Amino acid sequence: MTYTRRADADGWLHDERKALERDSRGVEEWTPPAHRHAKRWIQGESLAEYGTRWITERAGLRPRTRELYARQFRTVIEPDLGTTPVRSLTGARVRQWYADLDSAYPRRNSQAYALLRSILGTAVGDGVLADNPCQVKGAGRTARKRDPVILTVDQLATVADKMPTELRMLVLLSAWCGLRWGEVSELRRKDISEGCESLTVARSRDRMARIELPKSGLTRRVVIPPHIRASLADHLTTVGNGADVLLFTSTPGKHVQPESFRRLFNAVLEGVRQGVRVHDLRHFAGTMTAQVGGTTAETMRRLGHSTVSASMAYQSAVDSRDVEIAEALSKLANGTSSTGVNTGSKR
């Protein structure tokens, strides 16, 4: 602290020495002046100030997630609760806010509630609140908007065959390897192993065309089912020889745009199956992997669908079970399951 008068500085120092002496006698705990100042400042913050700072300072958030949090806070939480001091928030006040939200947007409401609960959980850790006032049971659970539409093996083969030749493998890799759109559209030649036996998911492209880590935050290696390896090898002969060459492009060197791909995909689905989204190809992968006997952990690892701590253990190496799963997927595609039961497919 800086004072303009020496007497004021001496007075401040005198008060601190007295506080230290009281602490030494066990009368009162002394804390550094900067800590006391910060605590007074935090306790007086409004939720708008505290929440905005929480989103800005939150470590480990992907840019897209940070933008989503900022938008949810600004449009759903702040209008009603923003001016309320954090220390004044009660369970009753939070329940009233949640009850007043438009019931036409249940998914948005549950996400906003979960965000508020996380923010106030940090406030508890900061000592601003004694406990978290977000106590509405089930409010933070997000219900699925729709059930995925899963293609059959034959339908998938038909859709892939009807796609433009340069995009056929994009459909097959999405479906049989469980890649997200941002992952498959960012695949490059260097991500495919010798002999097309596996691929490495090391990057993802978001909606703002930013290249970042996959959603799990970790790289994963996926064994490619044998029945599509020859097709992938043929595709590689058409994309150029550089390690960084994209596997799928709209114009040379440019990523495939999701809107243009979606239009092509929807047109191909006519007469095959209605209501299928591009992301449902990933659901196909999860369903088929479970069908051939993949455990929950194996399915999560293959699709990169895990918590960070679990994913670190799963992703350390591609074990023999992943190879077995990939081979079983090919058997399923060729018409015979791993148990010898015919699936009805001739492909």
Task: Give tens-digit pLDDT for 210-247.
Answer: 888 888 778 999 999 999 999 999 999 999 889 999 99
Comparison of pLDDT for 15 and 338, the residue scoring more: 15
Q: How do residues 189-206 score in pLDDT, each as one tens digit?
A: 999 999 999 999 999 998
Q: What is the pLDDT of residue 327?
A: 85
Catalytic: 314?
yes
Q: What is the pLDDT of residue 145?
A: 66
Catalytic: 74?
no
Q: What is the pLDDT of residue 143?
A: 61
Q: What is the pLDDT of residue 142?
A: 67
Three-state secondary structure string covering the chain? CCCCCHHHHHHHHHHHHHHHHHHHCCCCCCCCHHHHHHHHHHHCCEHHHHHHHHHHHCCCCCHHHHHHHHHHHHHHHHHHHCCCEHHHCCHHHHHHHHHCCCCCCHHHHHHHHHHHHHHHHHHHHCCCCCCCCCCCCCCCCCCCCCCCCCCCHHHHHHHHHHCCHHHHHHHHHHHHHCCCHHHHCCCEHHHECHHHCEEEECCEECCCCCEECCCCCCCEEEECCHHHHHHHHHHHCCCCCCCCCECCECCCCCECCHHHHHHHHHHHHCCCCCCCCCCHHHHHHHHHHHHCCCCHHHHHHHHCCCCHHHHHHHCCCCCHHHHHHHHHHHHHHHCECCCCCECCCCC
Average pLDDT of every residue of the chain: 86
Q: How do residues 34-72 score in pLDDT, each as one tens digit?
A: 777 666 566 678 999 999 999 999 887 888 889 999 999
Catalytic: 14?
no
Candidates 14, 17, 207, 279; catalytic one: 279
Catalytic: 255?
no
Catalytic: 180?
yes
Candidates 50, 69, 180, 220; catalytic one: 180
The model's pTM is 0.64
Q: How do residues 140-161 score in pLDDT, each as one tens digit?
A: 776 666 788 999 999 999 999 9
Q: What is the pLDDT of residue 319?
A: 52
